[in-house]
Amino acid sequence: MDVLSAIKKRSSCRDFKKTQIKNEELDCLVNAALASPTAINLQDLKINVIQDKNLIHNISQECFRLMNEKTKQRMQERNADNIFYNAPTIFVLSSPKTVYSEMNAGIVAQSLCLASESLGLGSCIIGMAAPAFAETNPNNLKNRLDMADDEYFCLSVAVGYANSKKSPHELNRKQIREFY
Ligand SMILES: Cc1cc2nc3c(=O)[nH]c(=O)nc-3n(C[C@H](O)[C@H](O)[C@H](O)COP(=O)(O)O)c2cc1C
């Protein structure tokens, strides 16, 4: 699939099949993440690839435990009891805190989503996993990912085969300012 088609067709998947993705697919995703640009080419982002069901469950449970009522309700409306929507593979992007760390993570996240789309896989960027790794949370799971003291959670991405997927969002031309 060409890049423009992948960009156009991608949408967030919130309904994954339990079937694990193939190793060849995982390799493609890892390479896509690693091929992403990082500021000053520091390549200081850690790409934690998690397929351990218990670990995925524990991260999700920790987030549910700390979730506010409004978000809990939104998850209920989505029929979701897992913040990763039961995706069998998740990528947790973490980094030392720099001016560019969030941007680096955002770019890697989109690379993962577009690569997933081109492989026929569903994906969803998950910011909601943050509380599970927050310094302020005494039960944080940083150790479980061997995260260094100065490393912090930036973003995560859920990937798997889609059971169902919504249509891509409407494009809003109001976001564009034109100076010709
Ligand atoms: C930084 C970021 C964080 C996000 N976090 C979540 C999340 O925690 N849970 C979720 O279901 N979707 C999350 N999303 C997905 C957005 O809700 C989604 O991209 C948006 O609704 C547009 O829909 P689309 O991805 O289908 O175009 C996140 C997206 C971004 C860019």
Longest dimension (CA), the chain: 54
Cα 41 to middle of ligand 1, angstroms = 27
Residue written as tokens 């560019």? 100
| Strand ranges (E), the chain | 46-50, 89-96, 122-126, 151-160
Q: Tell me the per-residue pLDDT of 111-147, one tens digit each, with 9 for 90 and over.
A: 999 999 999 999 999 999 999 999 999 999 999 999 9
pTM: 0.97
The ligand 1 atom nearest the CA atom of 128: 8
Percentage of the residues of the chain whose pLDDT score is greater than 90: 99
Segment 145-174 mean pLDDT: 96
- Which residue CA neighbors atom 17 of ligand 1 most closely? 12
Q: What is the pLDDT of residues 40-55, one digit of tens each?
A: 999 999 999 999 999 9
142 lines ligand 1 (CB under 6 A): no
Q: Given pLDDT bands bounded at 50, 70 and 90, which one contains residue 105?
A: very high
Please state the domain extents for the chain.
3-175
pLDDT of 86 reads: 97
Residue 177 — pLDDT band, cuts 50, 70, 90? very high
Q: Is 153 in the pocket of ligand 1 (CB under 6 A)?
A: no
Cα dist from 71 to 76, 80, 152, 157, whole Å: 9, 11, 23, 18
Q: Which of 105, 82, 96, 95 is nearest to 160 (CA)?
A: 82
User: For residue 1, is pLDDT > 90?
Assistant: no
- Quick one: average pLDDT of 78-88? 97
- Hey, which bits of 32-131 come out as E strands? 46-50, 89-96, 122-126
Q: What is the pLDDT of residue 115?
A: 98
The residue whose C-alpha atom lies closest to atom 3 belonging to ligand 1 is: 127
Average pLDDT over residues 65-91: 97
What is the residue-averaged pLDDT of the chain?
97
Q: What is the pLDDT of residue 51?
A: 98
Question: Which numeric CATH code is attached to 3-175?
Answer: 3.40.109.10
